[in-house]
Structure 1
């Protein structure tokens, strides 16, 4: 069931007004830069330029004023609303004109009225600024604005564990010891007590890792589906199973596969956030009891969700002292709290009522503020006022308090998290791309790319403990994140209150309010409305008519639509920026504002000349092969702004020439085969002309060839598979000056022996070797990989040992050995770990499975 949301009349809000106007400015910039010779706009180019100029002036004033203490002024709120409305009006008018719905004479009459409105708003903002400086000069800034420019990142919530030590030791003893019969343990407690964090600490404990043959972590949540839960359990068991085959399995096949996988093995299954006993009984027969010490661990907010005989551990509230310890660690890390702040900081900790989530969220606010007693005392007073209200709303009021004190630029980014399913991991890349598509990220920033700014925004939300990192990349950085149930509920409630986010149910189809982002929960009939900005959730029953949805920017349903069969009117979606489909629509060229295109398909797609001319398109991800259409080869005069391209086929020199039309590519995934170069030597596509390229994945299915490879010096991440290069040619890769991540997959190099050389891989931090036919790996010195942090050997079934010199690399933190391998390989890695520990190096860890 979806969360219950109060049925309130949406208030007039401006949470995303700046971003709507900013996005319009970006569109006007692009229109004037790339379509200045377009016959359609030649007659109105001057008016569009004036619109751009006046909107720039008004928006800069609005940004200057929309901070405390001006933020609460009613005049500013009214002006803010008018900026949003006039931006909508201009956006709709320009879109209608370019689509041909509005004739030139009508556009020429209407656009001066819009410009006049913007000028009036600018005049009013100037008066507000003048009056504000005169009347508010003595007002102390709200603590929410007192951000420290040198604030350091607070530790991740998952990294700060306080309290529960005795409880953890007791449960750990039950997991790795005790009865040999299958045992089910439940960690029970109210929301915000840290059940998931507590269970993660147990799951990652070295004793647990060594004890069990198979481990799986899955999230159940209130709205779970049996098939999805079974699939998650199977994926968690790290079974090598084709994804398409897994997705096509029926429920009984999934149950059987899980049972057979676990049969005879000692296993640990964690089921996080289970709401009722039905979820357990839906999957319970998957788990054999072979009397070998297997365990199942549940986390729940309800006591009786497990079968009879379940051992129940109730998490207690933190003591006042533990709350203070958690707050100090979260805000200051390993440093002590300054003496002048200890008194008020301890008061704040006591007022958090023993709930770790509340402590961490308040710590997130404190960690971004100046370390001044008056500012912290204001936080303490707000927390105390919520406590005095009593009742069950205390935690939600504290969370709302943290939302209200977010910088304006982060509020829509946070609220947008509500469109993702409960308890599901959120892909970092997907989230940041959606923020960009919605216009929440300033694309006018000259110092940082939109992607870098989006990452910075996400890290700010993480630092404020409003978002939790669920998985990090092996080489650093966030791969996925998750939002606590209560915080997601806050997103939904505030989104509804502020007319930003709308939940659509069976009998709720039409949407009239401006600027709404729509999350569909089970509606078979598609919601509609001229002002809808995005769609997420369940795919409506086709056909889906979008002719009137001229403001739609994101179509991100959880399953792709077929544009030829299921989607009608896509050619009218002038504002669309983000689209998930399973085939290219014939009218793809009319989506002139499209930036992100995901084609989820098992068929080869053809990239036409229309796509190559789309000047705003930045990201093209196709799950199967993509090849250039013949029409592209005759049109080489236009370049585009594609920055990420997946699964493009480069089979002949003309394909490489077509790639030159995308000079801004930063990430490339390609399938290729070698061809004869001008000197008659076999070579794979030479990519050195891509001067901005940072990430490359290159594969071939045409067998090994002794062919040359050439990559630009800018590449930081490289994955190669099937190229069949001899190890002597490794210098072509080892000499890449900025290479940090290298994945050598099956057939990338052939031969039995690899001897590394000095002066290569000078910046490499992550090295993975997967299914290589390598017997011997010789490393003469730790200087051969001076910056290596993580080494992964996955099913290198002939490799005998890890070179001893690898252990001497000062930066090395992990050696992972996965899958089938020789016993001597594992033993050599363990020996390296022991030797390093004897030498005082406690940082190196060896993991094998």
Structure 2
């Protein structure tokens, strides 16, 4: 599903399922559904074409026609879903598949009053579709494909004056060094391929042109050619030939050569020649592979420079990738003030504060700085106008030519996205500027709205949505933050200029209506489908058609009554203090029968209504950081719930075994009254993420039974990727002897085990990347066992109780190939020294934390200061040492050890930071 096609992607499968049961349908309903399916399939194809055409290339009649079809699809899905909800609502205690729902809906069709109502609704939509089709025919509305060529909005980057360029010297010099001095370690005669990659508007073309201008004279021939988003490859190949030798190939553009002939001509021309060719703005790897065929690969010192916005393409070009960085704040100021005032020291004092805010929003992107400065150049002494423009950046409201020009450049990246990613990106316009958006929150919202549809391989929806998230990062559309142990982003932020673009597109197509304080609801269309309240508004709004509602704490006083919502699928109230929102009656939530996503995280609510069981379509329920102590018993009847997130002290009711769709369960509290929950877990076969918190005041008499039930349940859960078991103080013999970890386990946390268990086997834990474990006793070979885990990147290993020290004969023996992938290693509450890890071990460890006892370095100690050396750990960046002193330790001895530690860090080639903590 995408914004250009409304609800068609999720609607068509529902119609198809209904028609598979057509022999049970009464005649009128059957004919209407068949007509609607045929029409909507045709419209689906047509709207896919519309979605690929930039807005400025679309005929106005086509835009109106597409808008009408989208609105119809939303209304029709609301009708179908309403009756699906009614079907399920009749028998909420019985689990049903989607096929069961369809069969029961067909039976409902056959009932008198319901049948007439459905027929009336479907007939109304059928009539509206016919009217839209007639209007298209009447006004001869033709759908065009996107143009393969257009005026290149980046042309001015190719012809910028050298004196206008700011902050590109470092990037230019780095690239020149790569090409001329063998900076990448390759012989200077070997052909070199370098790809500049970065966000749209970052200056890739400008830097590439600067490098080209400085180096082209050193080669026998050179060419600089730009590639469009939908390239005419024959034109590109002809352009390369013409640039290489204008005299010889002046008339090449008039020739009728096909691609193969042009490739052959290029290879013949380049054979034996040392060349420098720049291919600017590559959008897809297929185009690059065709161009690459034409470029001679002889090792005579030729160089190829490419630019792209896509990280994946840069990697697949198979050269060296150069990630272009934004301008520094200082260079941003120079460029900004020079463009407006002619010099960076001529900015009036009255403008400095607001200009600083504007530059922050530009984020070091030259295109943004140049566009905004052009907009402000004729408003030199008007602080109010500067402030107004500053407020508009990120809202998509400013319509000046310079802003539109910038959006056009950025929109190239948007229109290059596949249809499903366009939708997901537009959904991010829901969030304010500089807002950190959690990955899981986004993905579950996308699933709830139907933006993530299973493919032919029946992909897991969350994992499919996760691939969408990472692809948006890969294409430089969102900025990754909060990296996990695998180096994968757990959240993202939007660049203000991308936010401005998608807000503009969103407003144009009525995708999301946004209240930011600079936009009043009078600009909104009559039907609001998605609403984001970021600032308080005065106007009354019609919520009847709202499918997604998100509100932020700054707008909480504008929170409408829940009774206003009729078809809402996403209700996201995260971060709002609902305890202080007296007019909000949460008991009405149970009437929102279309609801798929309910986000109450950090809202301070203290209870849910018992009749929440009515939300039979609910997929995500986020109750983290609330005040809820006990969930209502009806929660276990939510059989489509895939994600349930609650606090560690929230009690779950009995009957967890009924929630067979659950994939994420955080956190399961186990106390004396709920030990049966451990047994129920084994029946939730879809679980990927689970956190179990034991809150047993007495283990005697329960430990054996709970431990056995836990192992039996865990052995049934073969899809687990992340498992946390906390406050487990009972017997873990069953874990050590009977648990076989699932093959996809990536993250494991356990507090507290008796020892590093025998189940920790490098051969069976091939994907384990995060291990956080506390044990009663550390043994001599424990670290070696953990060091052999092939994918381990983050290790936290601690001993419970007092600081543990192994005798000399049991010192850790670690092999030189231990911890091959580890980035973070933290050892707590037992004595460790760097010399225990020989050269070759921990080659990638950046953060190392360990414990020492100073007394072991002096009289009768088994360490000396040479054991503190860290030079054999090549990637070290940060060291934390916990010094556990005894009363008998003199200040001089403690000081000597600390001095030795600081010396070891000081002579390390990386000069890692060091933090010595005294205990």
* Length-normalised TM-score, structure 2: 0.56
Query: Secondary structure of the residue that 1:465 maps to in structure 2?
Result: coil
Cα distance change on mapping 1:504 and 1:804 into 2, 3 Å: same
Cross-structure match for 1:663: 685
The residue that corresponds to 2:825 in the other structure is: 792
Contact in 2 for aligned 1:594/1:616 (Cα 8 Å): yes
Unaligned residue ranges in structure 1 (runs of 5+): 1-13, 145-160, 169-195, 198-316, 329-335, 347-361
What is the alpha-carbon distance in structure 2 between the residues aligned to residue 650 and residue 103 of structure 1? 46
Alignment match, 1:237? none
Aligned with 2:610: secondary structure?
coil
Q: Counterpart of 1:537?
A: 552
Question: Is the CA contact 2:609–2:632 (under 8 Å) kept in the aligned structure 1?
Answer: no
Would you say the 8 A contact 2:792–2:821 is kept in 1?
yes
Look up the SS of the partner of 1:491 in the other structure. Answer: helix
Residue aligning to 1:693: 720
- Output the CA distance in 2 between the equivalents of 1:587 and 1:31: 29
Shift in CA distance, 797/108, structure 1 to aligned 2, threshold 3 Å:
same
Residue aligned with 2:492, SS: strand
Q: Is the 8 A contact 1:19 1:439 kept in 2?
A: no
Q: How many angstroms apart in 2 are the aligned matches of 1:642 and 1:44?
A: 39
Q: Which residue of structure 1 aligns with residue 463 of structure 2?
A: 452
- The match for 1:647 is 667
145, 148, 152: which is aligned to 1:141?
148
Report how far residue 848 of structure 1 moved.
4.7
Deviates more, 1:84-93 or 1:771-780: 771-780
Determine the structure 1 residue equivalent to 2:764: 736
Q: Is 1:781 matched up with 2:835?
A: no
Q: Cα distance, 1:814 vs. partner?
A: 2.0
Structure 2 residue 620 is matched with structure 1 residue 596:
yes
Deviation at 1:599, TM superposition (A): 0.5
Pair 1:580 & 2:605 matched: no
In the TM superposition, residue 523 of structure 1 has moved relative to its aligned partner by: 4.5
Question: Quick check: 1:370 aligned with 2:287?
Answer: yes
Q: 1:614 aligned to 2:638?
A: yes
Whole-angstrom distance in 2 between the partners of 1:477 and 1:443: 23
Match of 1:20 in 2: 7
Aligned pairs for 1:621-640 (under 5 A) are 621-630=645-654, 632=655, 638=658, 640=660
Mapping 1:487-498, distance limit 5 Å: 487-498=498-509
Secondary structure at the aligned position of 1:479 is classed as strand
Aligned length: 625
> Would the alpha carbon gap of residues 499 and 599 (structure 1) be closer, same or farther in structure 2, given more than 3 Å must change?
same
Could you say what the CA RMSD is over the residues aligned between the two structures, in angstroms?
A: 5.5
The CA distance in 2 between the partners of 1:821 and 1:619, in whole Å, is: 43
Counterpart residue number, 1:61: 45
Q: Tell me how far 1:813 sits from its aligned partner.
A: 1.5
| Structure 2 CA distance for partners of 1:471 and 1:570, relative to 1, 3 Å | closer
Give deviations 1:219-247, integer Å, cap 9, x for gaps: xxxxxxxxxxxxxxxxxxxxxxxxxxxxx
Secondary structure, counterpart of 2:667 in structure 1:
strand
Rounded Cα–Cα distance in structure 1 between residues aligned with 2:464 and 2:437? 18
For residues 365-418 of structure 1, give each alpha carbon's deviation from its aligned partner in whole angstroms, at most 9, with x where no partner exists.
746783489xx9999xxx9xx999964554652233322534343333223323
| More divergent stretch after superposition (111-120 vs 582-591) | 111-120
Q: Distance in 1 between matches of 2:853 and 2:429?
A: 47
Q: Is the contact made by 2:663 and 2:688 (CA closer than 8 Å) also made in structure 1?
A: yes
Of the three residues 80, 93, 97, the one matched with 1:94 is: 80
In the alignment, which residue of structure 2 is the partner of 1:245?
none
1:551 partnered with 2:468:
no
- Report the alpha carbon displacement of residue 646 of structure 1 after superposing the two structures with TM: 0.3
1:569 aligns with 2:600: no
Residue 5 of structure 2 contacts residue 44 of structure 2 at CA under 8 Å; is this kept in 1? no
Long gaps (5+) in structure 2: 90-112, 152-166, 175-197, 229-278, 292-305, 310-366, 377-400, 855-862, 878-907
Change in 2 beyond 3 A, CA 1:834/1:508: closer
- 1:87–1:645 CA distance, 2 compared to 1 (3 A): same
**Equivalents in 1 of 2:557, 2:866: separation in Å?**
53
* 8 Å Cα contact 2:740/2:759 also seen in 1: no
| Counterpart-to-counterpart distance in 1, 2:442 and 2:282 | 23
2:872 pairs with 825, 832, 837, which one? 832
Aligned to 2:481, which of 451, 457, 470? Answer: 470
Question: Does the 8 Å CA contact 1:653/1:685 hold for their aligned counterparts?
Answer: no
1:398 to 2:406 alignment: yes
Q: Compare relative contact order (CA 8 Å, sep 6+) and give the higher one, 1 or 2.
A: 1
3-state SS, counterpart of residue 644 of structure 2: strand
Q: CA offsets per residue over residues 78-107 of structure 1, 9 Å max, x none?
A: 553343222222223234445669944312
Alignment of 1:806-817 (within 5 A): 807-809=839-841, 812-817=843-848
1:725 matched to 2:735? The reply is no
In the alignment, the residues of structure 2 paired with residue 64 and residue 617 of structure 1 have an alpha-carbon distance, to the nearest angstrom, of 31
Residues 143 and 453 (structure 1 numbering): CA distance in 2 closer, same or farther, change over 3 Å? farther
From the superposition, tell whether residues 69 and 817 of structure 1 become closer, same or farther in structure 2 (CA, over 3 Å): closer
TM-score (norm 1): 0.60
Do the aligned partners of 1:716 and 1:739 also contact (CA within 8 Å) in 2? yes
Q: Distance in 2 between matches of 1:319 and 1:107?
A: 56
Larger mean CA deviation between 596-605 and 112-121 belongs to: 112-121
Partners in 2 of 1:319 and 1:749 — Cα distance? 56
Query: Contact between 1:609 and 1:629, CA under 8 Å: does it hold in 2?
Result: yes
Mapping of residues 241-252 of structure 1, within 5 Å: none
Kindly tell me: are residues 57 and 780 of structure 1, through their superposed partners in 2, closer, same or farther at Cα, counting changes over 3 Å? same
2:122 to 89, 92, 111: 111
- State the shift of 1:116 in Å: 6.9
